[in-house]
Each structure stands twice: as structure tokens, then as C-alpha cells.
Structure 1
Amino acid sequence: MNKQITLFSALAASLLVSFAAQAADTAELKVKGVIRPSACTPAFTGTNVVDYGTIAAKGLSATAPNVLAEKTIAFTVTCDAATKVAVRAIDNKASTVVPGLMTAINSNLGDKHAYGLGAAGGKNIGAYSVRTIVGSFTADGATPDIVADAANNGTWAKSTYGRFNADGTGRQAFATSGSTTPGSYKTMSGNLGVTAVLDKGANLPLTQNIDLDGSATIEVQYL
């Protein structure tokens, strides 16, 4: 080892003498990654599309928000081994949200819960909300409590409604019933609820077909 160090030092000294008068531009290469004991995959069962079908324009209110019925979609997180995870939902169409519509569903809701439904004829169509349906989930065969970390700081509290924030702030996890500490599970399955609200008809181009075009990314975070 000492010989190797001496040889390197001598070589380095030689290089310094040879190139002392030359300037050098540099670029840093970094190599990063995470080795995890297990990986988890979020998935929808059967389809990832919440389909409201054909909505008759003549049935829409021209003067008030139009609340559509809640639709459910089966959702599962599967891990290679029991793993502690959280879930969040991020809006991919945030620029198309019509402000103020979520209060038509619930006076306690606001724009932070609103996901965009796309646009048509230069007009934003409306908004929708996404929630975990509390009580519908199982975690390794047991019924867990849904707990939420609203500030992303590790402070968890039981969630009574499971509403996601559209900007990805806040997250939800699964805990043993009666606990607020996220637990480790291999399979977590249940239903997400989606409720769409269309803007009042007077603001929509109802003389043409209007395609609802919402999109959100469901993300699993390892705790």
C-alpha cells in the first residue's frame, strides 16, 4: 500500500509540473440510487378510466354548478414484502380547473381538492375530486384506518373522508385500526371515489361535443 501511495504521489507531482501552465475546465459526474428491501406497485383493477358516459346538455343547469354522481374505481398497492407506504394524487390538468366548484359537493371543500377536467372551445369544463373511500380498504386481509399527513412532516391523524389535495401536498397511509401510525403491509386494496362537477351551462360551449379529459398521477411514497 505504501508503494502505491508513493508511486501515485510521484506521478501526480509529475503531472502538476507538466500541466501547471494549462487551465482546466471540469464537469462533475454523480452516481445516485436507492436500494430498497422491497418495491411496491400501484394499479387499478380492470381499468384506469372513470367514465361518465354521455351527458345530455339539456339536463345541465345553466346557472349553477352541475354535480355528477360519484364513481368508484378499484385500486391496489402491491409490495414484494410488507412495506410502509403512503399515497398521494397529483393533478395533470391543473390549468383547467374551474375555481369554486368543489363547494358544490361539500362546503368544507375548496380549490385545493379540485382536479381539472380539461377544456373545450376555449372554456374550462369543470373540476373533480378524488378520495379514498374510508372503510372500503383492506390491508393484508384486515380493515385499516386511513391516516393522513396533511403537512408532509410525519404528523399523522385519522382521516374521516380521505380527500386528496390536487397539488400533491398531503398524503394518506394505512394504519392498524385505532392507530395513527402507518403500518407495513404487502397488499392494500380498496376503492377510490371520483366526483365531477361541471361548470354552469351558460359558461360551456354546449353547441358542440365536450369531452371530459381529467388526468391524475397516483404516487406511492416509501415511509
Structure 2
Amino acid sequence: MHVPPAIPLAVLLLAASPWALAASSTDLAVKGTITPSACAPLISGGGTIDFGKMAAKDLEAEQYTSLPHQTMQLSVRCEAPTFFTLSTIDNRAGSSANHANWHGLGMTSDGEKVGGAAFHLYAPVADGVAARAITSVDGGVTWLPTSMLTHTMLTAIARGNQLVPIAVQDFDAEIRLYTHIAPANGLTLTDEVPVDGHATVQVNYL
């Protein structure tokens, strides 16, 4: 997997000093990739889900409260067929009250984790043909047929029952959002608490 297109390539210049003239040496490698085509992701509705105001009394006291499932459309448009993966950046890292694969929903003023949200891809279509989502937890060495879109895995597109990423130009899928609020007994709810999840979907080139 190569560096995501959004990350600039930095070149480090080392200033010479008198002691640098000694016989010993070390190597400095500058690497990167120039891709022949670019891909742009797009999420419907501006990528925003708003659950509005929730009354504290309506939350489960001893277990997680599941909020209504929500859906959005994800599209990726490339200039040509391209091998790519999808992943997320959890911009509320460390605040997930659920599994580590879930995305955090922020913290209360007392430092309590509000909850978590999981993203899954359903009904994927690659260049007009039904496809499947596959994920890798080892940087693309091995793949499994799961639909999760998260910051701890890479998600790619495959055909049929195969577990091999394919090159895609136009990709569309439904993102299903599963959101849980942590047990109310563990949250300080004397004031309004924002549900403040935020994640970035990124395209990585293989």
C-alpha cells in the first residue's frame, strides 16, 4: 500500500557540519508514488447525520442505547480503473465506548465516553456490476469478506466470492451507520452532552 494522496511528500535536507566529514555514514531514503489517476470520494447529504435532541430519561441505564440506524450513499469516482482501498480516520480517537473498530462520539465534560458508531458498506457496485467488500487487518496481505469501514482496517472491492482487490473506476455503496450511546449510569447528564462523532473517509492507492 502506498501513501494516501492527501499526504504530501516531505523532503528532509540535512545541514553539513564539521563532524559530518568522518568516515562513517548512513543512508536517507526519500520515497513516494506518482499515481496515473486520482480518485475522489463523495458522501450524500454532506456526510452528516443529526439525531437531534435526546432526553436523558430515554437512555438505557445499564446497557447501551441503540439509536435508529441511518444510511448514506458513498461514491468513489476515479479517472481510470484504479486499485484502491478505503479506510477512515477517527477524528474523535480514543473516545469510543464500544469496540476499538468503532468511531468515538466524544466525551462528557467529566471525561466519560459518550458512545460509538460503526460504518458498514452494503450493496456495493463496481463499474455497474454488483461487487463485495473485503477487509484486511494486515495492510493488504490477507483479506476477509466483511463489510466494515473503519480506521483499523483497509476495505477493498472484489468480484463474486473472490478475496482479491480489483481495479475500479466508479464505485457506489450504501453506508449503514450503527450508533450506540453508553449506559446512562456511567454518564454525567446534569447538563446537555453533545453527541460529537466525526470521521474522515480516505482513499488509499494499492
Note the C-alpha offset of 1:97: 2.1
Instruction: Give the corresponding residue for 1:121.
Output: 109
**How many residues matched?**
184
Find 1:164's aligned residue among 137, 149, 159. Answer: 149
Tell me the TM-score normalised to structure 2 length.
0.79
Instruction: Give the corresponding residue for 2:10.
Output: none
Higher share in helix: 1
Aligned sequence identity (%): 28
Instruction: Give the corresponding residue for 1:23.
Output: 18
- Structure 1 residues 53-96: Cα deviation after superposition (integer angstroms, max 9, x where no partner): 22122211222211112211111111011111111123121222
Runs of 4+ in 1 over 6 A off after TM superposition: 28-31
Matches within 5 A, 1:38-49: 38-49=37-48
Q: Aligned in 2, Cα 1:187/1:56: closer, same or farther, shift over 3 Å?
A: same
State the AA in 2 paired with 1:203. Answer: G
Q: Distance in 2 between matches of 1:30 and 1:150?
A: 27
Q: Distance in 2 between matches of 1:95 and 1:155?
A: 27
Cα pair 2:101 2:152 within 8 Å, conserved:
no
The structure whose Rg is larger is 1
Find 1:147's aligned residue among 134, 155, 158. Answer: 134
Classify the secondary structure of the residue corresponding to 2:188: coil
- Structure 1 residues 139-183: Cα deviation after superposition (integer angstroms, max 9, x where no partner): 111111112223224222322xx1234xx3321111122322211
Q: Distance in 2 between matches of 1:188 and 1:116?
A: 27
Classify the secondary structure of the residue corresponding to 2:148: coil
Matches within 5 A, 1:61-100: 61-98=60-97
Q: Distance in 1 between matches of 2:73 and 2:61?
A: 33
Note the C-alpha offset of 1:31: 6.4
Find 1:175's aligned residue among 132, 151, 158. Answer: 158
RMSD, matched Cα? 2.3
* Structure 1 residues not aligned, in runs of 5+: 1-21, 102-110
Q: Distance in 2 between matches of 1:29 and 1:152?
A: 24
Q: Distance in 2 between matches of 1:178 and 1:121?
A: 47
- Structure 1 residues 13-68: Cα deviation after superposition (integer angstroms, max 9, x where no partner): xxxxxxxxx93769x99865422110111121231112212212221122221111
Q: Distance in 2 between matches of 1:29 and 1:171?
A: 29
1:132 aligns with 2:117: no
Tell me the TM-score normalised to structure 1 length.
0.74
Instruction: Give the corresponding residue for 1:5.
Output: none
Q: Distance in 1 between matches of 2:143 and 2:102?
A: 23
Find 2:100's aligned residue among 109, 112, 115. Answer: 112
Q: Distance in 2 between matches of 1:80 and 1:188?
A: 12
1:216 aligns with 2:204: no
